[in-house]
Structure 1
């Protein structure tokens, strides 16, 4: 556990600020945008745009996505390990969310099953009482 914390600190502390002009295809970067941080893999780059292939903010794989140079506030070069840690963290959150929704559905299904059983029992009891009393 202690080694994991040290490793995470090393990965986080090894972020290197980059200029747009220094970026190359195949690098893993953290893009600071106006509305969120994006951990991504650079698929292509031009003088005014950056094309990313994988992203840490979406659960699904994107074919490609493009950001304009002026939309990017800050760029940091990151390690591949840090990228996958962030990317897998997003996937784990999505899986947990789906598991929570599945658990809720199972609870609802159990409650419905109990309701139907109780209703069925009361119906049988009512029919039994009608035949015995009258």
Structure 2
């Protein structure tokens, strides 16, 4: 059974035009010090997930997300990890914004749904810890 670590800070999911350059405000010159930043470019948009406090007022964003990650590294041969976790959350009517990296998965949950998320994951047998306490 996997456990989760939730990150400090609140996060925002931002949308920029596809032709915009790398948003330096999202990095704030502390790459490697931040717990989580995600940049995804497509032909239609540039999506940025970063600390809410870094987002300029003029950027289209959806704020107030809590970010948690699957503790430990996930092997590419593992099947259905994200599907299983999100099924529990979907059954409890909890919406999830998921981001996967090479080593693990991150789930962003709106802060209003955080207490229900903790209850749901606990009832499913998962443990959720503050970052560094797992």
Common fold: TM-score over 0.5: no
Calculate the TM-score normalised by the size of structure 1: 0.21
Structure with more relative contact order (C-alpha pairs < 8 Å, separation 6 or more)? 2
Calculate the TM-score normalised by the size of structure 2: 0.21
Quick check: which one's helix share is greater? 1
